[in-house]
């Protein structure tokens, strides 16, 4: 009786504490556990399979971006076309008739005629060449003037709506104005004469 061990008093079972709002309900992982979860092999076992998966992913992303350019879905567009400023600039450019979009098809037609006419009527070549040079240089001058007018308008309207914006937004609009409307990407979302969204 004297040498008998006394048993330690048993502590009562801890009552589960109520969870705080916003808690994750589990203890935080240690750094070692987090690093082990992130660890991947540097060299993949099956390289061909990995390359095939990467190619499929890249093709899928490219197809989604192309579809977004056609439909106007900004979330999947390439980065250079995203943002409210660029969307507004596209609408401003698409709402007006730009001289450059009509000039380039006409210039291409004149160049084809310059190649074909000497074969058909060589005596008209000199007259046609002079007229072609006059039309081409006149068209280029008109495009430059129209570009300056568009640049001034874009700078004013973008600043009024968005304040001071980064470089390249106005240039983005001018480069879009040079393209033929049918071939512009992203596709035009408004018609000629409509006010920008």
Confidence of residue 143 (pLDDT cuts 50, 70, 90): very high
Residue 73 confidence (pLDDT): 83
Per-residue pLDDT tens over the stretch 93-129: 999 999 998 998 888 888 888 888 878 887 777 777 7
Give Cα 13 distance to the centre of its chain: 60
Confidence of residue 9 (pLDDT cuts 50, 70, 90): low
Residue 11 confidence (pLDDT): 57
Per-residue pLDDT tens over the stretch 155-181: 999 999 988 877 889 999 999 999 999
Nearest alpha carbon to residue 155 among 147, 187, 143, 98:
147
Judged against a pLDDT cut of 60, whether residue 193 lies above it is answered with yes
Residue 153 confidence (pLDDT): 94
- Is 102 within 8 Å of 180 (Cβ atoms)? no
Residue 43 confidence (pLDDT): 61
Judged against a pLDDT cut of 90, whether residue 56 lies above it is answered with yes
């Amino acid at each position: 009786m004297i040498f008998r061990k006394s048993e330690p008093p048993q502590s009562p079972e801890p009552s589960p504490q109520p969870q705080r709002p916003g808690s994750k309900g589990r203890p935080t992982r240690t750094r070692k556990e987090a690093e082990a979860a992130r660890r991947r092999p540097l060299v993949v076992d099956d390289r061909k399979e990995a390359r095939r998966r990467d190619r499929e992913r890249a093709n899928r992303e490219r197809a989604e971006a192309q579809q977004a350019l056609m439909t106007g879905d900004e979330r999947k567009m390439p980065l250079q076309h995203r943002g409210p400023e660029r969307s507004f600039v596209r609408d401003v450019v698409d709402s007006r008739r730009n001289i450059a979009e009509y000039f380039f098809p006409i210039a291409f037609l004149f160049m084809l005629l310059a190649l074909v006419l000497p074969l058909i009527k060589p005596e008209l070549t000199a007259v046609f060449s002079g007229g072609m040079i006059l039309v081409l240089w006149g068209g280029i001058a008109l495009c430059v003037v129209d570009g300056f007018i568009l640049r001034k308008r874009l700078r004013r309207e973008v600043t009024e709506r968005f304040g001071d914006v980064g470089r390249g937004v106005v240039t983005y609009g001018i480069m879009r104005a040079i393209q033929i409307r049918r071939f512009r990407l992203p596709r035009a979302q408004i018609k000629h004469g409509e006010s920008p969204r």
